[in-house]
Amino acid sequence: MKNVNTVIFDMDGVIVDGMPYHVKSWKEALSTIGMSASDLDIYLMEGMTGRETMEVFIKKSNISISDETADKVIKLKREIFNEIFTVTLMKGIENFLLELKDRQYKLALVTGTRLEVVNKVLQMGLENIFKVIVTGEMVNKGKPNPEPYMNAVDELNARKEDCIVIENAPAGITSAKGAGLTCFAVQTSISEEYLQDADKIFQDIDEVSEFLLPSIQSKEN
């Protein structure tokens, strides 16, 4: 990994432990219109925007609903999430980010989550870490479309071959690979069987750090 100078991070399940709150809020919001989804269903759609996630739920169900009703469910999901969400950084992530930043690596954040939620996460001491941030509101098509990661690379003025993406869900991996990027996956939300399209799979952020930092150190020597 000696040519890598840019690391692009997903947020939920990589930077912050946010997925349990997304699962709970989606389930509660969907129940108001008689729809349901399993935890795994929601985890597998991690990284997609609220609108895109709702469209998948509608296709999978036998329930026909209007666009107005769909919008109300998405709005309710956001309200529930905002009420219950507590920021907890993933184990090892803060030290990893600070170490990469100290070594002058370009860092970006690419997430389907809204900017208002991202700002809450950044307030946990990460305000000056990321050179570029791409959120769900900033793209026409979210993950698994490659647009979010392509936009990040363009804004960073980086070469694809110099970048690594760190993801934890199939939609994000598909997005990163579609953008022509090397993608590492961490098993923080779902098991290895759902992450097979990644270039390399790790148990957690600490394992990624152990793998990357020796490469970074050898590059400096």
Q: Please tell me the predicted confidence (pLDDT) of residue 182.
A: 97
The mean pLDDT of 103-116, rounded to a whole number, is 95
Residue 34: pLDDT over 60: yes
Among 44-48, 88-92, 104-108, 200-204, whose mean pLDDT is lowest?
Answer: 44-48
Q: pTM for this structure?
A: 0.91
Q: Please tell me the predicted confidence (pLDDT) of residue 1.
A: 60
Contact 36, 27 (CB under 8 A): yes
**Which residue in this structure is represented by tokens 């307030």?**
123
For the chain, give the mean pLDDT.
93
Contact 163, 8 (CB under 8 A): yes
Q: Please tell me the predicted confidence (pLDDT) of residue 220.
A: 45
Which one-letter DSSP state was computed for residue 132? E
Based on C-alpha coordinates, what's the Rg of the chain? 17
Task: Let me know if 193 is exposed, middle or buried by CB neighbors in 10 A (0-12, 13-18, 19+).
Answer: exposed
Contact 14, 168 (CB under 8 A): yes
The mean pLDDT of 34-57, rounded to a whole number, is 92
What is the percentage of the chain residues whose pLDDT exceeds 70?
96
**Comparing C-alpha atoms, which of 173, 180, 130 is closest to residue 155?**
130
Taken in order of first residue, the domains within the chain and their CATH numbers are 6-18+87-220 (3.40.50.1000), 19-84 (1.10.150.240)
The mean pLDDT of 37-41, rounded to a whole number, is 93
| Predicted confidence band of residue 221 (pLDDT cuts 50, 70, 90) | very low
The mean pLDDT of 20-37, rounded to a whole number, is 95
Q: Please tell me the predicted confidence (pLDDT) of residue 3.
A: 82
3-class state of residue 176 by DSSP: helix
Residue 217: pLDDT over 50: no
Q: Please tell me the predicted confidence (pLDDT) of residue 218.
A: 43
More confident residue, 73 or 216: 73
Handedness of CA 11, 185, 54, 132 (dihedral sign): positive
Task: Let me know if 56 is exposed, middle or buried by CB neighbors in 10 A (0-12, 13-18, 19+).
Answer: middle
Q: Work out whether strand 132-134 and strand 163-167 pair parallel, antiparallel, or are unpaired.
A: unpaired
Q: Please tell me the predicted confidence (pLDDT) of residue 62.
A: 81
The mean pLDDT of 14-33, rounded to a whole number, is 96
| Predicted confidence band of residue 219 (pLDDT cuts 50, 70, 90) | very low
Among 166-170, 197-201, 209-213, whose mean pLDDT is lowest?
Answer: 209-213
**Comparing C-alpha atoms, which of 197, 180, 179, 158 is closest to residue 44?**
197
State the amino acid at position 196 in one-letter form.
Q
Residue 216: pLDDT over 70: no
Cross-strand pairs, 6: 106, 163
More confident residue, 82 or 213: 82
